[in-house]
């Protein structure tokens, strides 16, 4: 985390844990601003960056422009997702927003394929600041309603339904923060933004869940993060085969559980009716004594679930219906 940005936030009454979890005093209100240090920025530059990315990611690079960004994924050769990302075009460069704990692994993996291409991969997580703006409560499947429309004024802004993700330099971030506070936005803990991403169905991965799922299991096809006509990319054969042979055997759902302590990522989900392990926790975050989760479940034509967390009595209730 940029030390100057960190000091600026501390001077604005933030508490910061491990340079990732950022907390502010609680306030009431629907207009909120967030400092987001759990996400990082991998920048791709060079004459061959567009062609290079087209051969490595699930979304179609030709659909991304200065006014439209996209979710997508980087897969291993077996079609398993190493990381999901939000890809933003910035002139001739690309900004890949992804979980900070996976930036180094993704950079190393992509570097393996650069060979003689004119492509440079730079971790700009400390040079660029990520902020969030929210007006009102998030809605289920918000990500599917998002256009990911992208604008550039004081900073790069990507639309996420009733939220916006901002990418800014340090100077821009400090100015934006002060301006938004003057407009009535109140700072809120970064954990709440993570919770809203879960409710919206945005599938961020961690080291525990990396290379566990194919893109369709994370609903990336529904979120516009997979192109089935763009040509080859690493893992494409498995992803295409799943698409053309029918529905994936596992699917991601938003869910909630009445607990104040979130389960570990990749924790098992049990169906009490069958006493079987039927799924995994992709990510989880608590909010007001409720834990919101994204879970990946085995699905059938007529799925009925009586779910709970493994080794815990707590019931898990789906917020999105099967086969919806």
Give whole-number Cα distances, 211 to 74, 76, 97, 104, 206, in Å.
10, 7, 18, 15, 10
Residues carrying CATH 2.40.30.110, the chain: 249-324
* pLDDT attached to residue 311: 83
Prediction pTM value: 0.94
How many angstroms separate the CA atoms of 124 and 44, rounded? 10
Strand order in the sheet with 39-45: 70-75, 81-90, 93-99, 39-45, 120-123
* pLDDT attached to residue 14: 95
Two tokens, residue 289: 């004594």
Residues carrying CATH 3.30.1360.120, the chain: 3-200
Q: Which portions of the chain are predicted below pLDDT 50? A: 324
* pLDDT attached to residue 194: 96
Between the two ends of the chain, the Cα-to-Cα distance in Å is 40
Q: What residues form DSSP beta bridges with 256?
A: 292, 317
Q: What are 125-162's pLDDT values in tens digits? A: 999 999 999 987 766 666 667 789 999 988 999 999 88
* pLDDT attached to residue 144: 67
Q: Are 68 and 223 in contact (CB under 8 A)?
A: no
Q: Please give the CATH architecture assigned to the domain spanning 3-200.
A: 2-Layer Sandwich (3.30)
Domain 249-324 - what CATH class? mainly beta
Q: What residues form DSSP beta bridges with 219?
A: none
Q: What are 173-194's pLDDT values in tens digits? A: 999 999 999 999 999 999 999 9
């Amino acid at each position: 985390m940029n030390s100057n940005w960190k000091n600026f936030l501390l001077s604005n009454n933030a508490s910061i844990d491990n340079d990732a979890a950022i907390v502010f005093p609680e306030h009431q209100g629907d207009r909120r601003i967030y400092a987001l240090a759990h996400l990082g920025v991998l920048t791709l530059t060079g004459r061959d960056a567009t062609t290079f990315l087209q051969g490595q990611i699930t979304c179609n690079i030709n659909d991304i422009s200065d006014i439209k960004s996209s979710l997508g994924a980087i897969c291993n050769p077996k079609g398993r997702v190493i990381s999901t990302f939000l890809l933003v075009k910035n002139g001739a460069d690309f900004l890949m927003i992804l979980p900070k704990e996976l930036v180094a692994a993704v950079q190393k993996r992509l570097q393996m394929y650069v060979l003689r291409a004119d492509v440079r991969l730079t971790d700009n997580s400390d040079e660029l600041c990520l902020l969030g703006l929210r007006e009102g409560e998030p809605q289920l499947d918000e990500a599917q309603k998002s256009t990911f429309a992208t604008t550039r004024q004081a900073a790069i802004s990507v639309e996420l339904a009733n939220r916006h993700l901002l990418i800014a330099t340090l100077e821009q971030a400090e100015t934006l923060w002060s301006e938004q506070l003057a407009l009535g936005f109140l700072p809120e803990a970064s954990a709440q933004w993570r919770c809203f991403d879960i409710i919206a169905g945005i599938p961020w991965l961690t080291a525990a869940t990396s290379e566990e799922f194919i893109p369709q299991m994370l609903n990336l096809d529904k979120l516009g993060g997979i192109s089935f006509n763009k040509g080859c990319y690493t893992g494409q054969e498995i992803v295409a085969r799943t698409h053309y042979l029918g529905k994936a055997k596992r699917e991601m759902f938003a869910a909630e559980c009445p607990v104040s302590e979130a389960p570990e990522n990749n924790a098992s989900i049990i169906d009490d009716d069958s006493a079987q392990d039927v799924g995994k926790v992709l990510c989880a975050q608590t909010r007001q004594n409720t834990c919101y989760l994204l879970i990946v479940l085995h699905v059938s034509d007529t799925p009925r679930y009586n779910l709970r967390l493994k080794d815990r009595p707590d019931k898990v209730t789906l917020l999105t219906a099967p086969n919806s």
